[in-house]
Amino acid sequence: MNLKTIKAIGLTALFVVLSEGVFAQSGPVLLLSKKEAAAINSHLKDYKLMGKSFGKIKRTADKALEKKIEVPIPSDNGGGYTHEKHKQNYRELYNAGLAYQVTGERKYADFVEKMLLEYAKVYPGLPLHPMRKQEQNSGKLFWQGLNDCVWLVHGIQAYDLVRENISAGNRTIIERDVFRSMAAFLSESDSGKDTFNKIHNHGTWAVAGEGMTGYVLGDKDMVDRALYGSAKDKKTGFLKQIEQLFSPDGYYSEGPYYQRYALQPFMVFAEAINRNQPELKIFDYRGQVLKKAVNTVLQLTDSKGYFFPINDALKEKNFMTEELVFATNIAYENYNDPAILPVISQQNEVTVSGAGLKAAEAIQQAGKLDYIKNPMVIADGPEGKSGGLSLFRMPTKNKDEQLTAVFKYASQGMGHGHFDRLGILLYNNDKEILQDYGAARFLNVESKSGGRYLDENKTWAQQSVAHNTVIVDEESHYKGDWKAAEKQNPELQFSDISNPETLQITSAVERNAYPGVLMQRTVAMIGAETPFILDIFTLRSDKAHQYDLNFMYSGHIMETAFKYDPAVATLTPMGKTNGYEHLWKLAEGRANVGVSKFTWLNDSRFYTISTMTDANTKLFMTRLGAADPNFNLRNESGYMVRVGDRKDYTFVSVIEPHGSFDPKLESVQDPHSKVANISLLQQDASYTAVRVTFTNKETYTLLFANAATAPNTTHKLSIEGKKYEWKGNYTVIKK
């Protein structure tokens, strides 16, 4: 331990003498009171969800008691033995603490005491973790400081649950050599202070651990530092994180995957604050933004609750995770929002806490619960002025089928952000139709770069060509520099979801991804016999460029309405850098003059991208896997529409689900696209007009002003001798 850490511990110990008793209370002070524990014990048979959840906790605790306590010297990467053992230890500590409070059986408290005394022997003398990475703040128990913060959040809750049953002498040892030592390291050491004051999910875990420790130990200085930053000047700390990391709509800048992860410390620490300092009214802070954060992250999921894999995200995560069990329970306890109950019911477990008790009682008394996924326009940025996300959702004529489109025109999302300005995703229920790779990582699999992010996360997953957007001159947005991208945001021009069964539309502009190139994408989900997506992507520049419109699709190619030359004998990469080096060129197509179509099958549905093309348009079919000697990447498929040597250009595409395939019945219906023609009627600096004609002669004409206008503004256009007039940003004419 370095001298600075020792001094920090000494100062903290001195301060606690001066502030003893400021927060100190008898019994647990964080998430579960004695009264609540007794109520849980008496209702284990009445509230089935609580009985099931506590049974799981108790079984884990009982199993832990059967084994010898082991606190190994840290030596491994994520996924290695010592890494996983310290994770297991904090979970066993927490579960045993809960088992003690609910049952009153002393053996569980003794287990917590003994394990913490073992940590007290080891922790103060631990050096920085031997497998730390130079570019990240190191922990002592784990290779990154974040995991030490997570240990502290769980460990202090366990101690809180049994503290009153530990002798004064052992409390002194545990508090000095475990909790004060760890809190000082994570907030005052050279390795920890930067993270503690960072507006980032790592910082949230750090301040939550410190603040909760302060409440348990009765240390006002710890609590104030957690709330207001290490200098207590309110420039950092928990309140500043709530202000900076969430938009007014509750969107978290790093995306829903990390919003899920960060919500546990946000909600758990908020619960501790509310119980110890109710005068802060933490759950009302910023217009109840924590409530909005929980609701928003739940909406940012597919029909089975899996998060849309925006930015660095693992697709396996859904709202059944531990973090969101805590978040939904605490949100329901403090906001009494019945809209959350269907999710709690699907989670099929509750936390063993006061919040979990209230949630379990509500579920027991509720009838059938359905969680409603709504179309939404979600603002990004602390002031709601940093772009955002549009979620389009529309049912089809098929039973229980919903088409969902995600249009991302949000901020970068810090270091976990991807270079996917104006990107889209498309889902049919839980099926990815146009997909996002998410993160290139095998979390905690030691053989894959120690469970960390793979090199391919930077060379592929974060690159623009890994997404459903336009790439200029084979260069990623902002040249792949997230710090440069963090300074600029797309601009929402207009959006309307007021008539969701008929039309949902958003138009956004990106002005800075490429010097001298303006990018505008307008995405509309249009209600028809089968809903379809009308996608209009305009590029404007004073200089000629190559523009690649990329679609990463999921499924199997069925047919193309254009000729192509397949790479039968030899595969070559699409390029040399910026992610292109990872794409094999499977085929190169010759575009039609008019409309080129690409059809694939996903599960039981056919999908076609119909794009307006000319004789100079190039079409490519690609597959991921090139330049991947360690087989780190999934073999996913892409379809790219390329135009070269253009200054101004507009891609117009229709993305259309159609037909069905039933291999059991050997039945195929409507396997071919129903788009007959696509016309760009007008495109200038002020207006865009597009017409789509289907084989049944139905036409849809979309006209819109490229810049945002007031709702009562009148627009007039004359196209091919016909006059059009409308008010507001856009109009759609169906014939």
Beta bridge partners, 615, equal: none
CA angle at 468 for the pair 463 and 474, rounded to the nearest 5°: 45
d(CA 442, CA 78): 10
* Dihedral angle of Cα 99, 102, 104, 105, to the nearest 10 degrees: -30
Do the Cβ atoms of 108 and 57 come closer than 8 Å?
A: no
| 16: nearest Cα among 176, 234, 237 | 176
d(CA 213, CA 265): 13
Position 134: which residue type? Q
- Please classify residue 287 by burial: count the beta carbons closer than 10 Å to its beta carbon, then call 0-12 exposed, 13-18 middle and 19+ buried: exposed
Do the Cβ atoms of 32 and 158 come closer than 8 Å?
A: no
**Which listed residue (90, 251, 258, 332) is catalytic?**
258
> Residue 78 belongs to what H/E stretch?
none
| 452: nearest Cα among 88, 90, 79 | 79
Position 525: which residue type? M
Which alpha helices (DSSP H) does 104-167 contain, by range? 106-122, 145-162
d(CA 497, CA 128): 52
d(CA 543, CA 647): 5
Q: Write the DSSP symbol of residue 44.
A: T
Q: Cα–Cα distances in Å, from 435 out to 160, 596, 654?
A: 44, 21, 17
416 is catalytic: yes
Residues 6+ positions from 133 with CB-CB distance below 8 Å = 143, 144, 452
Q: What single string gives the DSSP state of each residue in 554-581?
A: -SEEEEESSEEEE--S--EES-SSTTGG
**Which listed residue (129, 416, 582, 715) is catalytic?**
416
| 254: nearest Cα among 311, 205, 336 | 311
d(CA 507, CA 653): 15
258 is catalytic: yes
d(CA 459, CA 456): 5
Backbone angles phi, psi at 59, to 5 degrees: -60, -40
d(CA 531, CA 550): 22
| 731: nearest Cα among 711, 691, 706, 703 | 703
**What's the half-sphere exposure (Cβ side, CA atoms, 13 Å) at 625?**
11
Q: Write the DSSP symbol of residue 129.
A: -
d(CA 702, CA 652): 12
Sign of the dihedral through C-alpha 111, 117, 121, 122: positive
Do the Cβ atoms of 403 and 391 come closer than 8 Å?
A: no
Active-site annotation, residues = 258, 416
